[in-house]
Amino acid sequence: MKMAVNESSVFIVTGASRGLGFNIAEKLLSAPISANVVAVARSQIGLAKLSKKFPGQVESVVGDISDYKTGSKAVKTAIETFGKINGIVFNAAVIHPISTIAETDINEFKKLFDINFFSILATLKDAIPYLRQSKGRVLLVSSEASYESHFYGWEAYGSSKACVNHLAATLAVEEPDITAVSVDPGVMDTSMQEEIRTQHGGSMRSDHYEYLAKIKEEGTIEPTNAPATVISNLVVHAPKELSGKYHAFNSPELAQYLN
């Protein structure tokens, strides 16, 4: 599916310093896509690696995405440096707190929503005028937890991702010139999975925790490459018929974007 795009194409990627976000940014920066990327993350280290590997193609915005000024700065940086925005990948997210509804810390729940959902709204408000101009695309990283209740204790994370799915559907209706798709990347070998294994075992259902620990121990947990390939291709090429919909990255509907 990889096709060359105009070298001036510009994409914003949040959570770009490691894991899935870093991999997505790499694929957008590499040939044949060879786009420009505004990479957003709290850590400068991973962003510096991208800048060194792709000189002249990367602008870094270091900051906590829950501070809405960070998203605004990313939009402003894209326009001032590269002159346009062709698409945004909203990847930044956290999973803490994991707890039951009865025991949850409401303030921690709110903090998760600031990162996983409200930061997206804030950034979109600034970016929509430019995405209209470019007939751009918005890719929202979702999760199976957005609709499955067996993720015991994941109420905060799952509900935030359900909101992400609904946001994609709403954006597709309100902004017909913008293509919005939410994608579930599956269980991947990332720092979030490491956090789950090392910090949250006692707050989860034992069979779910044991499964996640087992696939890591056996080396069968999937790397980020395949979902990163799908998401990077979609933010460049997703057709209107996908707009407003939620898909698993390995669903038949997205098979053509795996290469």
Set out the domains of the chain in order of their start, with CATH numbers: 10-99+108-185+224-250 (3.40.50.720)
Which pLDDT does position 3 carry in this prediction? 47
pLDDT (tens digit, 9 = 90+) per residue, 89-120?
999 999 999 998 999 999 999 999 999 999 99
pLDDT (tens digit, 9 = 90+) per residue, 114-157?
999 999 999 999 999 999 999 999 999 999 989 987 778 889 99
Which pLDDT does position 133 carry in this prediction? 98
Q: Go through the chain and tell me how many residues it has.
A: 259
Block means of pLDDT (10 residues each) for the chain, 259 residues, are 65 96 97 97 94 96 96 98 98 92 94 98 98 98 88 90 98 98 86 74 72 76 91 98 97 95
> Alpha-carbon Rg of the chain, whole angstroms?
17
Which pLDDT does position 5 carry in this prediction? 55
Are 135 and 14 within 8 A, CB to CB? no
pTM metric for this prediction: 0.91
The strand pairing partners of 60, in sequence order, are: 39
87 token code pair: 């698409």
Which pLDDT does position 211 carry in this prediction? 67
Q: Which residues are catalytic?
A: 142, 157, 161
- Beta carbons within 8 Å of 193's beta carbon, 6+ residues apart: 187, 212, 216, 221
DSSP state of 42: S
Which pLDDT does position 106 carry in this prediction? 96
